[in-house]
């Protein structure tokens, strides 16, 4: 990756940039002059993609940012499928809508929850083994706040 491409990644990580013209203007503000064709090649080389923001505007993102977005989607799915949560010492029991306990466990596994040792999912019930009682209590509170 060259300096201009590093600058592009920096710019799109800090700003909502949805067009090549906006990117070209942002680069110029940073003291980097580049033709539209060069920017187009950089976008392709960096494998940037445009995604829709919650505000309804498109923005360029790197593939890494798409992964973060996938994690946000997992969190949203998790919030929607949980019916109740309780704990017994270091075991957390999550009740979900029918057939969604495996999805809840998969989401938690991807979130890398501190203190989570493992998950077991049935149809609508998930058991989470936590490292200790404190970790279980923290997870119950975190889920109660919407994860």
Architecture of the domain delimited by 3-61:
Orthogonal Bundle (1.10)
pLDDT in tens, 37-67: 999 999 999 999 998 887 788 999 987 655 5
**Sheet of strand 91-96, all strands in order from the earlier edge strand to the far edge:** 82-88, 91-96, 125-130, 116-121
93: helix, strand or coil: strand
Best-predicted range by mean pLDDT (71-75, 98-102, 143-147): 98-102
What percent of the chain has pLDDT above 90? 67
How far apart are alpha carbons 137 and 119 in whole angstroms?
A: 16
Each domain of the chain, given as residue ranges in start order, spans: 3-61, 71-144
Fold of 71-144: Gyrase A; domain 2 (3.30.1360)
Residue 5 pLDDT exceeds 90? yes
Predicted TM-score (pTM) of this structure: 0.53
How far apart are alpha carbons 137 and 110 in whole angstroms?
A: 20
């Amino acid at each position: 990756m060259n300096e201009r491409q590093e600058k592009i990644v920096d710019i799109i990580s800090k700003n909502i940039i949805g067009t090549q013209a906006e990117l070209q203007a942002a680069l110029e503000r940073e003291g980097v002059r580049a033709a539209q064709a060069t920017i187009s090649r950089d976008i392709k080389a960096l494998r940037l993609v445009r995604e829709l923001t919650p505000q309804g505007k498109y923005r360029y993102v790197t593939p890494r940012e798409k992964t973060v977005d996938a994690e946000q989607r997992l969190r949203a799915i998790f919030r929607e499928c949980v019916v109740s949560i309780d704990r017994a010492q270091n075991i957390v029991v999550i009740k979900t809508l029918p057939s969604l306990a495996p999805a809840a466990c998969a989401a938690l596994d991807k979130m890398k929850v501190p203190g989570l040792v493992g998950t077991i999912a049935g149809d609508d019930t998930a058991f989470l083994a936590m490292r200790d009682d404190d970790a279980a209590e923290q997870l119950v509170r975190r889920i109660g706040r919407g994860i």
